[in-house]
Amino acid sequence: MIFLEKPKNFEKAIHVVGCFLECDGKILLLLRDSKKDGGDRWGTPGGKVEIDDVDFESALIREVFEETGVKIERRDLVNICVYYVIHPNNKKFIYTKYSIVLPNKPDVILREEEHKEFTWATPEESLKMSLIMHEDFIVKHTYGIK
């Protein structure tokens, strides 16, 4: 389940950040490796906030570069929303989602142990894809899709 407000008795285990990298009306989606959680499903770049990360934006900049080879700037990030997630196995985490508009499609270099391929899709097209858990809700919420 995913919530826009913190549920009562919600104690997070981890904090996750993710980002819509947008260009020409399309978002970058990565296909997760089969061996990873959410394997063989599409999602946006992002990952866990690590102890060494100064803040959420630093974690996001690091994760985007590690997963895609794309360098993004803090000043260009827009914080979209904070989501509270409870998975069926009762794993709980806070997910902070950002977006950034890129002037040109960058060269994407995938981290092979994490992702198998990438694509650019409109938000509407992404909803027809096999997305990671709750990504459809976040796409609809972010882009005002019913």
Residue 120 CA to residue 133 CA, distance in Å, equals 19
pLDDT for res 50: 94
Residue 142 CA to residue 117 CA, distance in Å, equals 24
| 14 touches 96 (CB < 8 A) | no
Per residue in 109-124, pLDDT tens? 998 889 999 999 999 9
In the chain the domains, ranked by start, together with CATH numbers, are 2-143 (3.90.79.10)
Q: Is the pLDDT of residue 12 over 80?
A: no
| 96 touches 15 (CB < 8 A) | yes
pLDDT for res 37: 80
| 81 touches 142 (CB < 8 A) | yes
Exposed/middle/buried for residue 113 (C-beta within 10 Å: 0-12, 13-18, 19+): exposed
pLDDT for res 57: 96
pLDDT for res 13: 78
pLDDT for res 41: 97
